[in-house]
Structures are given as structure tokens and as C-alpha cells.
Amino acid sequence: MKNLIIASTSTIHGSGYLEYILDELIVFFKDVNTILFIPYARPSGISHDVYTQKVTDAFAKINKKVTGIHEFDNPIEAIQNAEAIFTGGGNTFVLTYQLYKNNLIDAIQTAVKNGTPYMGTSAGSNICGLTIKTTNDMPIVYPPSFNALSFVPFNINPHYLDPDTNSTHMGETRETRINEFHHFNTPPVIGLREGSWLQVIGDSIVLKGSLSARIFEYNKAAYEVEADTQLNHLK
């Protein structure tokens, strides 16, 4: 049975890395001693080792150990033997490229299907949707496919931002970009605001956190859903 936390971000304003969600993670990882971290997204281009140390420091606060998948000679076996998996944020294209390069898409899908807890933030959440076509990131590398892990039957836009009516910026809003996506694609998209996450248990998908999320469905007007709303209808 699937057991996931799909979070918009790892850090909210005024808070340290993962601090805003640590109480939730104590419960989520209660039966886990060691978490396998996938650092492939490399925010700001940091190394896998530096990124893994940052995550190690954060999880030490709830007495969990962390190992980086890059430390293993066989990353597929690392996934197969993992007690739990965490994929951090950064560049979604870099992350997806590395997952395909290391033949990890099927391995992660199988592990999660069999009950291995999975947590993603930002790019690590983008890959939980059907495709990565609604990421905010620049395509600095070219993965073999935009198809993602398909843990939920829709696409995700982490760090969703509402239009700022006081801004003089003339560029496209997130809503405009997602509407452009729907000119060529039909899957729903959920705009996850900072500090929100999806809790997936089996077939149940629930919005968590204190904020609403914005839902975009093909040929429909965008609408808001409040926290604790079931999102199983999005297909």
C-alpha cells in the first residue's frame, strides 16, 4: 500500500530545513531507523555529499539516520533494501535525468507500491505526478522522458504562487503557465502552496497543511480546495 508525503517545499520563510513539517515526519517515519536520500536534484548545483549532509542534520533532530543513494555501488539494490525514501528538491530535469540514467523509475515505483514510505519535496514531489511538464525549473539537461513516477493521477506544481496585483512584472503567472499546459495536455494539475503537502495512503489523497491549494482541470475554471480535502476525484 502506498504511503507518501508529497510536499511543496523543504523550507518555508523563517524556518530551517524541514522544520515546518518535522512533527509530521516523526509520525510518518516512526517505524524507520534509516532513510535513503536521493540527492540527484542538486539545488544550486551543490554536490551530492553536501546535500546529503544537510538532510542528515535535519533528520538527526528526530533521531533518524540518512544515507545517500550515491554512496551505493548498486542504486537499484539500495532502493530495494531501503526502509524509507526521501527525494529532495532542486532541478526536476536533473533529477529525472539521473533517475532514468540509473534505471530507478521502476525500482522506486515497485518499492512504493510494496509499502516503502516515500517523501518528496519540490522536485522530489514533481516526480510523483504523471509527468514533470508542470515543473517551474529550467530544462538544463534533457531526460529520456518527461514521464514521472505516477504515484498520483495528476500533475503537481510545487511552490505555487498567486498573481501579485501590485507587481509591475509583465511575465506570465503560474496560472497562465498551467493554462498553457492544458492547451496541449489534459491531466489535472494541483498548485501546492508553500507549507502544504499531499498525504497519500493507499488510494486516499488528502491535502494537508494550513493553506488551500489551487486545482486546474482541463476545460474547467480553476478552483480552490481547503486543507483536509480528499483529492481522489482528480483523474
What is the tens place of the pLDDT at every residue in 163-199? 777 776 656 789 999 999 999 999 999 999 999 999 9
Per residue in 17-69, pLDDT (tens digit) is: 999 999 999 999 999 999 999 999 999 999 999 999 999 999 999 999 999 99
Alpha-carbon span 121 to 197, nearest angstrom: 9
pLDDT given at position 7:
98
Q: Is the pLDDT of residue 9 over 70?
A: yes
Length of the chain in residues, anyone? 235
Q: Is-contact 214 194, C-beta < 8 A?
A: no
- Predicted local confidence at residue 169, as pLDDT: 67
**Span between the terminal Cα atoms of the chain, in Å:** 19
Task: Report in angstroms the alpha-carbon separations of 140 from 45, 90, 122, 137, 180.
Answer: 11, 12, 17, 8, 21
Q: Is the confidence at residue 137, as pLDDT, over 80? A: yes
Q: What residues contact residue 182 under an 8 Å CB cut-off, 6+ apart?
A: 189, 216, 218, 219
Q: Which of 10, 125, 137, 196 is catalytic?
A: 137
Residue position matching grid coordinates 501590485: 166
- Amino acid identity of residue 173, one-letter, is T
Sorted by where each begins, the domain ranges of the chain are 3-225
| 122 labelled catalytic | yes
Global pTM? Answer: 0.96
Closest CA to 159 of 111, 121, 208: 121
pLDDT (0 to 100) of residue 162: 83
Q: Which residue has the cell 513539517?
A: 21
pLDDT band at 14 (very low <50, low <70, confident <90, very high): confident
**Residue 129: closest CA among 137, 139, 120, 138:** 120
Task: Check: CB of residue 125 under 8 Å from CB of residue 141.
Answer: no
Please pick, among 122, 125, 182, 196, the residue that the annotation labels catalytic.
Answer: 122
Supply the DSSP string of 77-138, one letter for each residue. Answer: HHHHH-S-EEE--S-HHHHHHHHHHTT-HHHHHHHHHTT--EEEETHHHHTTSSBSTT--S-
**Structure confidence by residue, pLDDT tens digits, 196-227:** 999 999 999 999 999 999 999 999 999 999 99
Q: How far is C-alpha 21 from the chain's CA centre?
A: 14
Rounded to the nearest 5 percent, the helix, strand and coil shares of the chain are: 30, 20, 50
Q: What is the pLDDT of residue 170?
A: 58
Please give the pLDDT value at position 135: 97
pLDDT tens-digit readout, 108-135: 999 999 999 999 999 999 999 999 999 9
pLDDT at 171: 64
Quick check: is 210 catalytic? Answer: no
The mean pLDDT of 72-91, rounded to a whole number, is 98
**CATH entry, 3-225, from 3.40.50.880, 3.30.1330.60, 3.40.1180.10, 3.40.640.10:** 3.40.50.880
